Amino acid sequence: MKFSAPVYRLKRQAKLLSREKKITLNKALDTIARREGFATWSLLSAAAAQYSPARSILARLGDGDLLLLGARPGQGKTQLGLEILIEAMAQNRKAAFFSLVFTRQEADAHLASLAPDASFRNLTIVTTDDISAALIMDTLKLAPPGTLAVVDYLQILDQQRSKPELSVQMEDLQYFARTRGVILVFLSQVHRSYDPATRPLPEIGDINAPNRIEPGIFSKTCFLHDGEMRFSDRK
C-alpha cells in the first residue's frame, strides 16, 4: 500500500487544512483521508497500521545486527527510526535513543506525538554532544539481548577530533553488538550528489561520511526516497 505521502506528512497537511479552512482537525483529517481513497481518517489509520514499515523492519532484525538507515533530509528516516523504537518497546524490549539533533524535550515530544498512548518506561534517551561509541557501549553495557538502540545520526560519531576515527568506533560497536546481542540502528545522511533521476533510491556508496567506513560493518541496510523503501540483508 502506498499513500501520496507518509502518514506523518498527511497529518501535517490536515493541520494546515484545518487552519486554512477554519474547520476542526477531525474534519480536516477525514478530508485528507478521502483524498487517499478512504472514507474516514480512522480507516486510513487502520490500513496504515496493517502495513507498518517499522514492524516489518524490526521483524527482520536479529540480535547483534547493525542497521544503516539512510536518506536525504526530509525523507522520513528519523520518523522511521523512532517508529522502530516504538515497535520494539511494544514488544517489551529495552530501547535507547542517542541524538545530537533533538533536545531531551524535543525527543519526548516527538515520541509522544507518534505514540500518545505508549509507555516509554523501557526507553533511555541520551541527548549530548559527547555521543560516541564509548558512550553508547557504556550506556548499553547492562542491556539484555534484543535491546534496540537508534543513533541519530551516524556522522555525529565523527564530529569531535577528540573521538577515535569513525571506522574504529564502528568496529568497536560491531563487536559490542555481536557479543552483547543488542541491535544498533544508525540513521545516516546521504550525500547531496545522490541523484534520484539516475537511481530511485540511494545506495551504501551514497552515504555522506567524512572518513571511510567498511560497508561490511552493517549487517542490514535500508534506504528511503520519495515514499519508497529498499531493505537489504548484507549477511
**Within a domain: 1:** no
Chain centroid to Cα 12, Å, comes to: 19
Same domain? 115 vs 217: yes
Same domain? 113 vs 13: no
Domain count, the chain: 2
Q: What is the CATH number of the domain that holds 215?
A: 3.40.50.300
What confidence score (pLDDT) does residue 70 get?
96
pLDDT at 210 over 70: no
CA 150 – CA 222 distance, rounded (Å) = 14
pLDDT at 173 over 90: yes
Give the residue carrying C-alpha cell 541523484.
Answer: 195
**DSSP SS3 for 7:** helix
Q: For the chain, what is the mean pLDDT?
A: 91
Same domain? 26 vs 61: no
Same domain? 141 vs 197: yes
pTM: 0.82
Kindly report, residue by residue over 69-114, the tens digit of the pLDDT.
999 998 989 999 999 999 999 999 999 999 988 999 999 999 988 8
Same domain? 106 vs 46: no
Contacts of 147 (CB under 8 A, 6+ apart): 93, 94, 95, 96, 140, 181, 182, 183
**DSSP SS3 for 41:** helix
pLDDT band at 46 (very low <50, low <70, confident <90, very high): confident
What confidence score (pLDDT) does residue 213 get?
83
**Within a domain: 58:** yes
What confidence score (pLDDT) does residue 231 get?
95
**Whole domain around residue 39: which residue ranges?**
7-50
**Within a domain: 2:** no
Same domain? 59 vs 44: no
**Within a domain: 102:** yes
Give the containing element (helix H, strand E) for 233. Answer: strand 228-233
